[in-house]
Structure 1
């Protein structure tokens, strides 16, 4: 089974969230890069995984597989 992780800005765009399988956010980050880095780290530990990076409109900007 493929694990899915999402990196997305929070609703008022003051930070970034990492979500596991689209459930409650695991952690809150001040910038996109640190959120992406953490999501990739988790995804690599739980391979096979996909990380979806969303833009401010919550549309998929980038998809990475591990």
Structure 2
């Protein structure tokens, strides 16, 4: 199962979509845009999971596709 995560950057000025918690895919200004992109990638690569972190890098939500 592939894993995608939505995490804030170091300064919490943007949000990143990371693949397998390794390299960031892209930086987004808005958290909702990053979540939408992560969900779209996950749905195209089933089975997969999206882990959404809050500004403190704590797991807020997990979604499985």
For the criterion TM > 0.5, the same-fold answer is yes
1:24 Cα deviation after fit: 1.2
Aligned length: 65
TM-score in terms of structure 2 length: 0.98
Cα distance in 2, alignment partners of residues 49 and 24 from structure 1? 17
Alpha carbon RMSD of aligned pairs, Å?
0.4
Find runs of 4+ consecutive structure 1 residues off by over 3 angstroms. none
Contiguous gaps of at least 5 residues in structure 2: none
Matched, 1:42 2:41: yes
SS in 2 for 1:14: coil
Contiguous gaps of at least 5 residues in structure 1: none
TM-score in terms of structure 1 length: 0.96
